[in-house]
Amino acid sequence: MTVTDLTLVPRVEAIALDASAPVACCGPLTRETISADDAEVFARRLKALADPARLRLVSIVAASEGQEACVCDLIEPVGLSQPTVSHHLKILMDAGFLTRSKRGTWAYYKLVPGSLDAAAAPLVTV
Amino acid sequence: MTVTDLTLVPRVEAIALDASAPVACCGPLTRETISADDAEVFARRLKALADPARLRLVSIVAASEGQEACVCDLIEPVGLSQPTVSHHLKILMDAGFLTRSKRGTWAYYKLVPGSLDAAAAPLVTV
DNA sequence: TCGGAACATCGATGAACGTCAATACAGTGC
DNA sequence: GCACTGTATTGACGTTCATCGATGTTCCGA
């Protein structure tokens, strides 16, 4: 790997993905009609969770010590291939539910605090 | 009601009341790992909501008088064809979020009370 | 009885999705 | 340097999904 390689990959989306402060996209659905744009945003979040494998991954991570788990501990429980698990984890990360931190050769995925509550917020009536 | 009736009360009634008494499929995801079966059920519900058009339909119905709306009042706001709207409404009905009642040639869809809260329950940490 | 209106269903089509095998990449230890 | 291990990416394939036009079905009024 050469030095010039570093400048070739601009991660523009890193700015938009401030995963440290999850926010509800909109008010309660029962209060007033959701806008088309908000519906798009909210649907994208729900779609990231609307898969059995991803729900299990989030659940395993969330129920782990420090709400953090290694990929190597996730493959066997969900019963899927390693590339598929990695694929799902990426989707959950892009949606703002998980963050990744590499420690040595291992990758640890951590639940973003409050992200699940923020995703559920528009559904609850309270 | 005779005495013998007591022993013959069919449990089918409880199933029939399912639509009017929504129940969370599982405990909080953060408490303990969700089972494969519960993940399947929960994912199916989320998938029914994870679409911009369906979110808008639910929102319009939920924000209407008596949380009820006619199909004729739903087509124009979402900007989709009538068959497509009918298709989405069926999905929301099958998932237990809406109920339908025909009055004359009109069909009124009503939000099932508590169904949205029940769907969001596994996500909130409380 | 007939025509029209409101809604559901059918059939087709293009896009998105979940999955895996193969491969590439990045660290660790020798 | 080299081999090995853990993880991400790529390419391909079958399935599911959202959408629409055409057609059915049900109900009401003339």
Site from A31, A38, A44, A56 to mutate, B interface, most B CB atoms within 10 angstroms: A56
Tokens of A49: 């969770």
How many beta carbons lie within 10 A of that of residue A49, not counting itself?
25
Q: Rounded to whole angstroms, what are the CA distances from A107 to A99, A113, A126?
A: 10, 19, 38
Residues of A in contact with B30 (CB under 8 A): 59, 62-63, 67, 111, 116
The residue with tokens 């009109």 is B106
Q: At B121, is the pLDDT very low, low, confident or very high (cuts 50, 70, 90)?
A: very high
Domain locations in chain B? 5-123
CATH of domain A37-123: 1.10.10.10
Site from B30, B51, B76 to mutate, A interface, most A CB atoms within 10 angstroms: B30
Class of the CATH domain delimited by B5-123: mainly alpha
pLDDT tens, A88-121? 999 999 999 999 999 999 999 999 999 999 999 9
DSSP A74-115: THHHHT--HHHHHHHHHHHHHTTSEEEEEETTEEEEEEPTTH
Q: Rounded to whole angstroms, what are the CA distances from B124 to A92, B24, B38?
A: 17, 12, 16
pLDDT tens, B10-58? 333 333 344 445 788 888 999 999 999 999 999 999 999 999 999 999 9
Say whether B62 and A29 touch across the interface (CB within 8 A).
Answer: yes
Distance CA A95, CA A46 (A): 9
Length of chain A: 126
Q: Rounded to whole angstroms, what are the CA distances from A99 to A80, A93, B9, B68?
A: 21, 6, 52, 40
| pLDDT top residue among B118 and B25 | B118
Partner A contacted by B43 (CB < 8 A)? yes
Partner B contacted by A29 (CB < 8 A)? yes
Partner A contacted by B63 (CB < 8 A)? yes
